[in-house]
Every structure is written in C-alpha cells, then in structure tokens.
C-alpha cells in the first residue's frame, strides 16, 4: 500500500473479507501458516515486524502490529513455505525466513519458488554472504538489491534475474530431474521508500489453480486498486471494489505527487 500520508493498512491486513488474515486460513488445503511479516518505513529506513508462527495462531499480535503500523508505504506477507532443497520442515521456519526482507531503504516480498536456489545464489557475488536464511525468495531479494546498488534500473534488474535463471537452467537442468523449470512465479512487490513496485510474472502452467479466497481468478494474477491509498495484492481483498488485474510481464510503479498517488503500468517482459 502507498499513500500520500502515513496510514494504517488495517483494513487490508485484518478487516476486509479477503484480508491477508482471512487468506491465511481460507483454504484448508493451502494454509498460509509458515510465518508472517509487516514492513514499513521510519525516516526513510526500511523496518519489519516478522514471525515464524502461523498468523492465524498469533491473531492478537498480528492485529496489534497492523493497527499500530502507520507509514506511507506498507508491505505485508503471509507465507506457505516452499522447499526446493528438500530440507527438513523444521529448518524452513524462522524469523530470518519470513518476509518482508529488508535492507537499507529496500522492502521486498515474493510469491513463488526459485527451484534452483543453490545455483542462483552464485549470481550474487559478494552479496551471497548477506543471505541469512534458507528461503529461496531471499536470493531474489539480494539479486535485486545488488542490481540496484550497481546502478541498474528496476526493469533491468527484474528482467536480468529471469534471464539469469533461464541461463542457469540450461546448464543445470539435468541435475534436477524432478523439476521442469527454474522457477514457479516471480511475482514481487517491493519499495525503495519513495516508490512502490509490483511485478507480475508467471506462466499459465504456474497459475492453473484458483485464488485462495474468492477463487475467481488465477492464483498468480496480481491486482490493484488505483486510488489513494493505492493497494496492490496477490489477489482481490474485497468483493465490492473494482480491482484491476495485472498481466504476466507487467510492472506497476506507484509514487506520491503532491496530495495524489500516481501510477503507471507497463509491459517489461513476456
């Protein structure tokens, strides 16, 4: 969420009929019970409150954080852990593995799986040492941080990660006979403290299941509400509002100008 003044995102985190809290337990077959987090900004620096516990178990704490957090930009995430390395389940859950990831002025959340995390981590150079957990999404995060700190544009960083994964896959696919592609979903929402970015990237094969809550759209089809505050989410959070879907390959960029929140949507890959 991005707004022209510090606001609470409580409506979308807690109150709405398909809030993140409701999404976490809406489908018993797809419980989002492997951690949660709410990220925000203080004096331009990114911060986050995170937990490795199911959000539907920590409802009171989650509600309290959602109510108290007021920021022009807020990112939140609930997690169903991916496990491309085949690790014991107890190793997947920790605060370090919960999102949003944050560093300096960057907040980041990812919905998807990087199927070749060990190979992809070699793309990070010195930033490989910054990895704190075993969440494959963290590699995506540090690649983005590295690219931006190297002076690349957001568009180049996002396209560069997918291109690098595809190149790696051509070299290593024989070592992963149980996997069919290097990633499942590259959907990411992130911010540099000034702008909010939402990148929708998935294949039809990735999105054969319906959304968790309303079950009325493909599971990886992100959507947004173009208003003040502007809200972008992995799926519709309310029934009455006119959510606009993002196509795979589209990047939404939103920023505050005066008292308004402006945005643009452009196709950057596909």
Q: At what angle do helices 154-172 and 137-149 cross, to 10 degrees?
A: 130
First to last CA, the chain: 26
* pLDDT at res. 102: 98
* pLDDT at res. 270: 82
* Residue ranges per structural domain of the chain: 2-84+93-267
| 2-84+93-267 carries CATH number 3.60.20.10 | yes
Write b or e for each residue in 81-97: b if 16 or more Cβ atoms lie within 10 A of its Cβ, otherwise e: bbebeeeeeeebbbeeb
* pLDDT at res. 82: 97
Q: How does pLDDT run across 88-108, given as a tens digit for each residue?
A: 999 999 999 999 999 999 999
Token pair recorded at residue 69: 């957090």
Rounded to 5°, angle at Cα 202 from 27 and 253? 100
* pLDDT at res. 206: 87
Q: How many CA atoms lie within 13 A of 3 on its CB side?
A: 16
244-245/250-257 β-pairing: unpaired
* pLDDT at res. 46: 98
* pLDDT at res. 190: 98
* pLDDT at res. 208: 87
* pLDDT at res. 42: 96
Q: What pTM was estimated for this model as a whole?
A: 0.97
Which stretches of the chain score pLDDT less than 70?
none
Q: How does pLDDT run across 118-159, given as a tens digit for each residue?
A: 999 999 999 999 999 999 999 999 999 999 999 999 999 999
Give me the DSSP letters along 202-248: --TTTT-SBPSSS--SBTT--EEE-SSSBEEESS---SSS--EEPPT
> What is the CB neighbour count within 10 angstroms for residue 240?
6
């Amino acid at each position: 969420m991005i707004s022209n003044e510090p606001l609470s995102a409580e409506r979308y985190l807690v109150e709405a009929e398909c809030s993140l809290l409701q999404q976490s337990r809406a489908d018993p077959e797809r419980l989002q019970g492997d951690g949660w987090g709410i990220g925000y900004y203080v004096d331009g620096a990114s911060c986050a409150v995170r937990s490795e516990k199911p959000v539907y178990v920590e409802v009171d704490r989650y509600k309290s954080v959602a109510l108290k957090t007021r920021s022009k930009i807020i990112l939140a995430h609930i997690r169903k852990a991916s496990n491309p390395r085949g690790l014991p389940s107890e190793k997947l859950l920790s605060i370090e593995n919960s999102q949003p990831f944050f560093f300096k002025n960057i907040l980041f959340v990812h919905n998807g799986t990087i199927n070749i995390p060990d190979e992809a981590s070699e793309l990070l150079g010195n930033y490989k040492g910054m990895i704190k957990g075993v969440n494959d999404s963290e590699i995506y995060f540090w690649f983005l941080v590295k690219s931006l700190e190297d002076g690349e544009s957001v568009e180049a960083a996002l396209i560069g990660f997918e291109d690098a994964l595809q190149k790696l896959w051509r070299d290593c696919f024989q070592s992963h006979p149980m996997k069919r592609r290097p990633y499942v979903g590259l959907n990411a929402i992130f911010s540099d403290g000034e702008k909010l970015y939402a990148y929708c990237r998935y294949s039809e094969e990735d999105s054969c299941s319906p959304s968790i809550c309303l079950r009325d759209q493909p599971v990886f089809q992100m959507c947004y509400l173009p208003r003040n505050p502007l809200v972008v989410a992995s799926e519709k959070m309310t029934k009455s509002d006119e959510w606009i879907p993002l196509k795979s390959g589209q990047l939404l960029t939103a920023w505050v100008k005066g008292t308004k929140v402006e945005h643009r949507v452009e196709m950057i890959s596909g």
